[in-house]
Amino acid sequence: MARKYERTADSGSLSGFPLLTTMVFMAHGAHGTLSPGEAAEDGAAGMPAPPAGPDGPDGPDDLVAIVRRRAERTPEQVAFSFVDFAADRAGRARAVDYETLDERARAVAATLQRTCAPGDRVAVACPHGPGYVEAWLGCLYAGCVAVPLPEPERSGQAVRLRGVLADCAPRRVLTTTGARADVEAALDGAPEDAVLCVDQVPTEAAAGWTDPPRSPGDLAFLQYTSGSTREPVGVCVSHANLIANIRQIERQSEMDDRSVVVSWLPFFHDMGLISGIVLPLGAGAHAVLFAPMAFLQEPHRWLRLISDYRGTWTAGPDFAFDLCVRRIGPDRRRDLDLTSLTSIANGSEQVRPGSVGAFLDAFGPCGLDPVAVSPGYGLAEATLGVTAAVRGARVRAFDRAELTAGRARPADGAGPARDLVSCGPPLPGVRVLVIDPETGAELPPGRIGEVCASGANISDGYWRRPELTRTVFTELPDGPPGRWLRTGDMGFLHEDELFITGRRKELVVVDGRNHAPADLELTVERAHAAIRPAGVAAFAVETADGEALGVAVELRGGRLGEPVAELAGTVNAALATDHGLRAELLVFVRPGRLPRTTSGKIRRAECRARFAAPGTAPQDPAVIGAVAADGGR
């Protein structure tokens, strides 16, 4: 029987489970919140000393050298197990050891070296499988700059692929024979020799590989952001950034060569690339990988593989945990054994308290340790990770009125509250602070502002975007010295942990009060059973009287006939009760029709542009109906 838990405003613990508080002792430096390592470490960067052993100060300092060393010392050690559910619904596993991986990477690299020079960009647009890992790693072996991209299976992906290829101008594009036609169609007139199918590269080609010189500052890859608030741009990630973030995440999550990582996250996304490929290679962990579509079709497969392979570490965005709760019934949970899991990273999108609680409720009886649930915060500009919880998810209740005024004060039960999930303390070697977004001045704990980060994992900037680079990666004129990443995310520090409240550009400001879209969306989602979970977008709309609230809402497939006016009344009643405002515009759309990024985040800005322009919504085939406060539309 599941143990009952509940959030408590004073401690954030979940009663019935062990107290979910961080056990790391934090220290304050001159500026911002420091990681645990910086309290004892010397030096401006605050980076901890590398671990001893083959990957320590006398060992490899880049990922290629690490893989090569393991191929020499432990050639039969399994690096990856790929489980193919397309070939066999039960899952057909293929193991790849370090000797094979190294040989295939050298073969791809040697083939690239015939036409590419070190520093040339090489795009990777393979299906999610062994070929993708070979291609991406082969780029690094060749001294080229990898550009991880999706296989253009859908028209939207082809459009994105063309835009990215035009921006990075790759010398070659790597794919597989099965995907070649789609890739060539997306290239639209590129030279015939631009495409190289890695599955056609003979392993014997490895003998022709020469190891090019690499320095820590050389680019390893360009990570194109998913662009939830702007057009995708390429983040420049160096070999030094890559190794720094590997070591930071390893230390925070206690990952090592005994760990087993299970991942379905797409390789072209930063969370999937680092979690599924880079981190296991850096730590020497065994990675069990399968395709994103296989997870979406049957979420049970994710937890089944964790159970079967005794997975210790996994990661997913918030919606994945909701999907498991909804799609894996009690009868299918009985055969799951999740006792091996020591860390479940929850990130990529804002973590909702309800998702954490429902997942623990559903899978606690399967042996899931609640302390394993580890919400975190990160972004491509930081390679991946910035903060992570180390002893479970902390849910805290804050006074809602104070939050809208820019202050975080724990709720006292006297008024409306908003539950927020802590993203944990900074990773070792990372500094985090919160600034006034207008002046750049550092704000004290409990004040809401723009989150900034500094550390060896922070990128040098964007590919061929000098103005944007100077704006985002900058010194703070009225803040602490040094170069800081301005994330554009709003949040605050409380008890040395980071809480995220939303995106700066997406705040809805009504009558001088700041409303976080995620908070408004959660209220709307809970207002009526016809509203699809994680299918709400809140955004600002302009009126003659100033800024107001607009909301686009996906309905469940079986509830499309609900009277729109009644739905609008229910939603506005909930908004009035929880936030003291109503929506100037409510647009109800068919399931799955809200614009989303490649990682599944709703594009609020695009929703606003698509649905909020006067007279456009009724003509949109995705729209079921729209209700405006003035009775129009």
Beta carbons of 441 and 434 less than 8 angstroms apart:
no
Q: Across 136-140, 349-353, 394-398, which has the greatest mean pLDDT? A: 136-140
CA torsion sign, 412 to 416 to 421 to 422? negative
In this prediction, residue 155 has a pLDDT band, given cuts at 50, 70 and 90, of low
* CA dihedral of residues 299, 303, 305, 306 (deg, nearest 10): 150
Structure tokens at 397: 């209740």
pLDDT in tens, 399-417: 988 998 899 999 998 888 8
Beta bridge mates, 509: 514
Q: Would you tell me which CATH number, out of the four given (3.90.180.10, 3.30.300.30, 3.50.50.100, 3.10.28.10), belongs to the domain 507-628?
A: 3.30.300.30
Strand 343-346 with 313-316, pairing = parallel
Structure tokens at 284: 């020497």
Strand, coil or helix: 630: coil
Instruction: Report the interhelical angle of 63-73 vs 239-253 (nearest 10°).
Output: 60
pLDDT, average across residues 66-86 = 97
CB atoms within 10 A of CB 88: 10
Beta carbons of 318 and 352 less than 8 angstroms apart:
yes
**Every domain of the chain and the residues it spans:** 507-628
pLDDT of residue 592: 87
The answer, yes or no, to whether residue 363 has pLDDT greater than 80, is yes
Query: Tokens 């990681």 map to which residue?
Result: 35
Q: Is 23 left (phi over 0), alpha (psi -120 to 50) or beta?
A: alpha
First to last CA, the chain: 50
User: Rounded CA gap, 272 and 223, in Å?
Assistant: 11
Using a 10 angstrom Cβ sphere, with 0-12 exposed, 13-18 middle and 19 or more buried, the burial of residue 557 is exposed
pLDDT, average across residues 357-363 = 93
- Between these two residues, 160 and 98, which has the higher pLDDT value? 98
User: Rounded CA gap, 290 and 293, in Å?
Assistant: 9
- Of the given ranges (317-331, 513-527, 618-632), which has the lowest mean pLDDT? 618-632
User: Rounded CA gap, 573 and 579, in Å?
Assistant: 10
Closest CA to 218 of 237, 238, 241, 235: 238
pLDDT of residue 50: 35
- Between these two residues, 346 and 199, which has the higher pLDDT value? 199
Query: Tokens 């900037």 map to which residue?
Result: 461
DSSP state of 557: G
- Of the given ranges (43-47, 163-167, 362-366, 429-433), which has the lowest mean pLDDT? 43-47
pLDDT, average across residues 456-461 = 97
pLDDT of residue 593: 87
Strand, coil or helix: 63: helix
Q: Is 333 left (phi over 0), alpha (psi -120 to 50) or beta?
A: alpha
User: Rounded CA gap, 586 and 427, in Å?
Assistant: 41
Measuring CA to CA, how many Å separate 133 from each of 182, 198, 584?
20, 10, 48
Measuring CA to CA, how many Å separate 303 from each of 92, 327, 346, 372?
16, 12, 15, 14
Closest CA to 135 of 283, 292, 267: 267
Residue 45 CB-half CA count within 13 A: 10
pLDDT of residue 54: 41
pLDDT of residue 621: 81
The answer, yes or no, to whether residue 563 has pLDDT greater than 90, is no
Structure tokens at 111: 């083939």
CB atoms within 10 A of CB 545: 8
In this prediction, residue 598 has a pLDDT band, given cuts at 50, 70 and 90, of low
> 48-59: string of b/e by CB count within 10 Å (b at 16+)?
beeeeeebeeee
pLDDT, average across residues 201-210 = 98
Q: Do you know the residue count of the chain?
A: 633
Distance of alpha carbon 203 from its chain centroid, rounded?
A: 34
Measuring CA to CA, how many Å separate 344 from each of 83, 229, 348, 506?
20, 27, 13, 28
pLDDT, average across residues 27-35 = 38
Measuring CA to CA, how many Å separate 394 from each of 23, 288, 357, 383?
12, 29, 11, 25
Closest CA to 322 of 285, 288, 296, 342: 296
DSSP state of 602: B
Q: Is 25 left (phi over 0), alpha (psi -120 to 50) or beta?
A: beta
Report if pTM > 0.75: yes
Ordered DSSP codes for 247-309: HHHHHHHT--TT-EEEE-S-TTSHHHHIIIIIHHHHHTPEEEE--HHHHHH-THHHHHHHHHH
Closest CA to 20 of 495, 423, 371: 371
pLDDT of residue 459: 98
Residue 631: partners with Cβ closer than 8 Å, 6 or more residues away: none
